[in-house]
Amino acid sequence: MATQSECVDILVDDEHIAGTFLSPPTKLPGVLFVHGWGGSQERDLARARGIAGLGCICLSFDLRGHALTLAQQQTVTREHNLNDLLAAYDLLAQHPNIDPSAIAVVGTSYGGYLSALLTSLRPVKWLAMRVPALYADDDWLVPKRKLSRDRLNELRARRVTPEENRALAACADFRGDVLLVESEHDHLVPHATIMSYRAAFHQTHSLTHRIILGADHALTSECCQKAYTDILVNWATEMVVGARLDQGDGAQAATSLR
């Protein structure tokens, strides 16, 4: 994180010596967590607390159709949930202690898909996506629960290009830093979908792709949950609180793609 410096004069034994105060910036990075379909903010809270401890202001929330608004799940559309995400982003960006040019978004599955769309509508500096789902554009206003599973499986089993998908087009335009996390044994978001996302990110400042061995889509085992937490916190430490804010660090561009 960029620091502020102030030169000071220290009086000692009738002489003067030079010193420098170093202090953290007055504005902090923001991190927005977006849960997956059928989930809630509960699973994000522990990770949000860990990242908040790094010196960030975090916000988690429940998409409509989940938690207290579960009754809406039969009718909620992607349009509704994208509007939820936009409202949450705007609330975070308006926080008085937030640096609006330093916002990270962490999305899981359906939340990863929505987060990709968000990057074309709001400024995002860092984007973390775990097992991001993919959906066709032409049924955008169809309730999420009514989407054809067979059609989704067909879409996700093949390589999809930015020219044919709105979320991937947003990824193709994204110029920030990206973390892409894949589960080795994912029956909902297969390797082909992850590679469609990875191929779309061709203008990023950096791209980090990690595979959690033995993991399923939901990270049902505790060791897989811990593996993802470690990956996310390490990446957040490097990207968000590392020495990259307001710096054109050429070394990062050379070393961060791995």
Residue 166 three-state SS: helix
pLDDT tens per residue across span 212-227 = 999 999 999 999 999 9
- Please state, as a whole number, how many other Cβ atoms lie within 10 Å of the Cβ of residue 13: 6
In a domain, 48, yes or no: yes
Task: Give the pLDDT score at 240.
Answer: 76
Residue 207 three-state SS: strand
Q: Is the pLDDT of residue 252 over 60?
A: no
Give residue 251's pLDDT band: very low, low, confident or very high (50, 70, 90). Answer: very low
Q: Is the pLDDT of residue 256 over 60?
A: no
Residue 163, Cα to own-chain centre: how many angstroms? Answer: 23
pLDDT tens per residue across span 130-164 = 999 999 999 999 999 999 999 999 999 999 999 99
| Residue (of 82, 44, 43, 89) closest to 63 by Cα position | 82
Q: Is the pLDDT of residue 69 over 70?
A: yes
Report the run of H or E that residue 79 belongs to, with start and end. Answer: helix 78-93
In a domain, 4, yes or no: no
Task: Give the pLDDT score at 242.
Answer: 64
Task: Give the pLDDT score at 198.
Answer: 98
Overall average pLDDT of the 176-189 stretch: 97
Task: Give the pLDDT score at 241.
Answer: 62
Report the distance separating Cα 97 and Cα 193, nearest Å: 37
Q: Is the pLDDT of residue 44 over 50?
A: yes
Task: Give the pLDDT score at 243.
Answer: 42
Q: Tell me, what CATH number does 188's domain have?
A: 3.40.50.1820
In a domain, 17, yes or no: no
Give residue 40's pLDDT band: very low, low, confident or very high (50, 70, 90). Answer: very high
- Cα distances (angstroms) measured from residue 1 to each of 57, 131, 178, 190: 14, 28, 18, 36
In a domain, 161, yes or no: yes
Report the distance separating Cα 133 and Cα 173, nearest Å: 18
In a domain, 32, yes or no: yes
Domain hosting 116: range is: 27-255
**Backbone phi and psi for residue 251, each to the nearest 5 degrees, phi listed first:** -65, -35
In a domain, 44, yes or no: yes
**Backbone phi and psi for residue 2, each to the nearest 5 degrees, phi listed first:** -65, 140
Task: Give the pLDDT score at 34.
Answer: 97
Overall average pLDDT of the 49-57 stretch: 90
Task: Give the pLDDT score at 180.
Answer: 98
Please name the residue that has the structure tokens 């990709």.
Answer: 116
Query: Taking all residues of the chain, what is their mean pLDDT, rounded to a whole number?
Result: 91
> Number of folded domains in the chain?
1
Which tokens sit at 240?
A: 């968000």
Quick check: 198 and 171 in contact, CB under 8 A? Answer: no
In a domain, 19, yes or no: no
Give residue 3's pLDDT band: very low, low, confident or very high (50, 70, 90). Answer: low
Task: Give the pLDDT score at 173.
Answer: 98
Q: Is the pLDDT of residue 255 over 60?
A: no
Report the distance separating Cα 21 and Cα 16, nearest Å: 16
In a domain, 13, yes or no: no
- Cα distances (angstroms) measured from residue 23 to each of 1, 4, 9, 17, 238: 10, 5, 17, 20, 19
Max distance between CA atoms of the chain, in angstroms, equals: 82
Overall average pLDDT of the 13-30 stretch: 85
Give residue 254's pLDDT band: very low, low, confident or very high (50, 70, 90). Answer: very low
